[in-house]
Structure formats: structure tokens, C-alpha cells
Amino acid sequence: MSRVKVAVIGSGPSGFYAVSALLKQCGDPVVDIIERLPTPFGLIRAGVAPDHQTTKNVVRAYSKTAAEAGVSYFGNVSVGKDVSLAELRELYDAVILAVGAPADRKLDIPGIDKPGVYGSAEFVGWYNGHPDYVDLDPDLNTERVVVIGNGNVAIDVARVLVKSPEEMAASDLPGPVADVIHRAPIKDVVVVGRRGPGDAKFTNVELREMRDLDQAVSIVRHEHLPDELPDAVEGRDRRVREKNLQTMEAFAEPGDDQVAGAEKRVLFEFYASPVEVLGEGRVEGVRFERTEVSEGGSVRGTGAYFTILCGLVVTAVGYRTRSFEGVDFDAKSGAILNKDGQVAGNLYAVGWAKRGPSGVIGSSKRDGDEVARMITEAFAREENPEKPGHEGLKRLLQARKVAYVDFGDWQKLDAAEVARAASSEAPREKFLSVAEMLAAIGPKSG
């Protein structure tokens, strides 16, 4: 019996969990990971905050998976440009879309397109050294930044903007980005949510970090904190929310010494919905409507308005996956239309491409297990002609003169980044463009 041949498009967590599941369930598969950039690991490299190096250690496990027999990496290969999705479906027994949700959901309010307003995907991509956003060049010459959103990404943006150079020394914040952030005159970062503190989507680990900043104090309005959570909030969800509220209680009553000694502030503003970005030529402020939350959980405006003046706005209100020709997209969820992970025929989706942007890094493990089971069962019951798979993709890319990067090339690039770290504390200094990456790898031998 021939070996099942699978192409996994995307090398982030959902992609690697799918590969791992295939190795466990499919006997002796041939799995090719196809990545648009030379660098693997998706949001671990370009989405996880640069000061969260412990979280990034998961790439050690992914690297072991990439080294397994039958697994290959094709970096610097763009599906839709270098090879079509239709071609991959002909080359492989199954194709898995593991492309995450890399695009920002856009707020539909007047002024959202003014200079100085950024989506969190592009802003986080910029401070993480993603090649797509290296030229973003945000103007941080402002004393106040508004971050719209009440999830971990909003907190990440706020924390990175107010941490001192010493606090970021052990991060992989790129040098050119660090120069811009640490020179900025930012005094306040205002994190704004439509709902109240009890509904915020922060994980408590991230929220607690905001208590221990060297040069910044976090502040919550005491009147925004609820006396108790609604009875309908139960179980684990209730425990998580209660922990967050306990943490925020300390933010509502910071000590006088904390406030007096702080150079910067992170202000949490709840019950506020953005209605317009203000400014002549570029952003100068955001107009908000005060909100209230009904017993049933719906949010409604109160008719009371206020303005926060600022010179930079970052919206962290969600993401959507990328589109592929011939693949239906669900605008509501921000995901690819699928049924339990199957998109159509031999095409599958995992992770945020399947579910929309929700959950933590490990949430995609189950998706990988389910899709690997479906592929195994389909391959066992169907009389499939022998597919060219790996060798067919290599021939196609070579014929089109695509300079693809294998995992050994990535390891060479990885070593070069580590070697050029600015200090012994820093884990690496990233190359910020594809051209720089390919130059660091050098010509392929043979």
C-alpha cells in the first residue's frame, strides 16, 4: 500500500500539531509543510510578544517534528503565486490549510483610515519583525496611545509600549523597532473595551504582568468594577473572571508611591464604544459612546459621549483568515467554511483557519487530531491513484525557479540570528526582510 501524501499549508502551531497528529495516526506518511516566508513557526515568531520568550520555547517541540522521517519543509513558497491550491490538491492525497488568521478585522467607523490608525496584526507584526510590516513606520511621537480591544493582544501592545529598555533586554524586539519605541514620548496607553471588567478576555497571567512594570502603573476606575458577577456566569469561566477582577482591584487602588514613581500609565477604560476617529490629516483623538450591558448580556449605547485625545490608535478587535481561490470564506467567523475541518474533498482546515481567531496556542491540537483521523479513514477506504507528492512539488518549484528554503536552511538562518544578538541577554536579532534572510542562508550547495 502506498504512503499517504499530505501538504500542510502554514507552519504555525496549527500546522505543526496537524503534522504531529498525522505522524501518529497515518502509519508512515509523507508530509510537506509549505510556508510563504523563509521562517517557520507562524504566530510564535511573529505574533507572540517579544518579551514572552517562555511561550516561544514551544518551537523546540515543533523543530523535533520537522526533523521526523517523512517530513519536509518548503519555506519561501507562496500558495497562489508560486503554486496554486488546485495544483497541490492534484499532487497530494490531502491538503491542510493551517494559515491562521493573519488579517485584521476592521472597525467600521468614520475616520478609521486616517494615518496613525493601525490594526493589531500589522502593529504586532511590525514590533515582531515580520517582513510584511518592516516598512510600517508608525509615528510614535505622541504622549498618548489608544488601544481598542479587551483581549491579550491589547495588553501585549500596551505592555511593549511602556516597558523600559532594561525590561525588554531579554526579548527579541528588533533593534530598529526598539530604538523607535524607547525614544517615543509616550506617557499614557489607554486600553478601551465596550464591556465591563468582568467580560474582558485577558488571561490572568497576562493581566498580572501589568502589576510589575518598572516604569508604568496600571489603573482601573473603581466605579467600573462590579460588586459581583451575574449568576449565569458559572464554572471555570466564573473562576477566570473572578481572578481577573481580583487583579484589577489592585489597579483600582494603586499606592501613592506607585503613581508618584511611575513615568507612564496604562489606563483601562471600560464601557466605551468607539464611534469616530478624529483629526485633520491624521489621528488626533477618538470619540466614544458610553455603554451599558443588559442582564441578557447585550451592549447598548447610553447616548453619552466623550473624547480621548491621542496621536496613535491600535485596534485589537479580532482577525480573519486569508482567502484562497475557489474556497468559500465565512465573513462572520473570519474562518474558511468547513464541516468539522473538511472544506471540500481532499481539502481540510485546522486552527484559526477552521475555527476563527479563538483559543490559545494549544487549542489547535484537537483540530490536528480530528483532521488526521479523517485523512487516515479517507485514504484507507478510497482507491487512490499514486500521487507525486513531495517529488512532484520539488520538480514543479525547480521548473519555476522558486528559491524554496528547507529546514536545514532555516536552521542556518536561525543560528545567524542568534549569533547577531545585541547582547548576551537577547535570544536573537531577527533579519527583517526576505532578501536579508535569503542572503544569510546563502546559495544552496550542489
Annotated binding site for FAD: 14, 35, 43, 79, 352, 359-361
Question: How far separated are the first and last CA of the chain, in Å rounded?
Answer: 33
Residue 427 neighbours by CB distance under 10 Å: 14
SS3 134: coil
Find all residues with CB under 8 Å of 212, minimum gap 6, and list them. none
Binding residue positions for NADP(+): 150-153, 194-195, 206, 359
Q: Which of 294, 268, 256 is nearest to 206 (CA)?
A: 268
| Secondary element (H or E) of residue 177 | helix 175-183
Answer left, alpha or beta for residue 356, where phi above 0 means left and psi between -120 and 50 means alpha. Answer: left
What are the backbone dihedrals phi and psi of residue 408, each rounded to the nearest 5 degrees, phi first? -65, -40
| Cα 341 from Cα 368, distance rounded (Å) | 9
Q: Is 415 helix (H, G, I), strand (E, B) or coil?
A: helix
Beta strands in 75-160 (DSSP E): 94-97, 103-104, 117-119, 144-148
Alpha-helical segments (H) within 67-103: 85-91
Are the beta carbons of 16 and 28 closer than 8 angstroms? no
Contact between 75 and 11 under an 8 Å Cβ cutoff? The reply is: yes
Residues in binding site: 14, 35, 43, 79, 150-153, 194-195, 206, 352, 359-361
Alpha carbons 235 and 255: distance in angstroms, whole number: 33
E-only strand ranges, 230-358: 264-269, 272-278, 285-293, 299-309, 312-315, 319-320, 329-330, 335-336, 342-344, 347-349
Q: Are strands 94-97 and 342-344 parallel, antiparallel or unpaired?
A: unpaired
**Count of alpha carbons within 13 Å of 351, Cβ hemisphere only?**
29
Cβ within 8 Å of residue 297, ≥6 positions away: 232
Q: What angle do CA 286, 287, 291 make, to 5 degrees?
A: 125
Cell of residue 445, nine digits: 550547495
Q: Which three cell numbers stand for residue 355?
A: 475555527
The rounded radius of gyration (Å) of the Cα atoms in the chain is 23
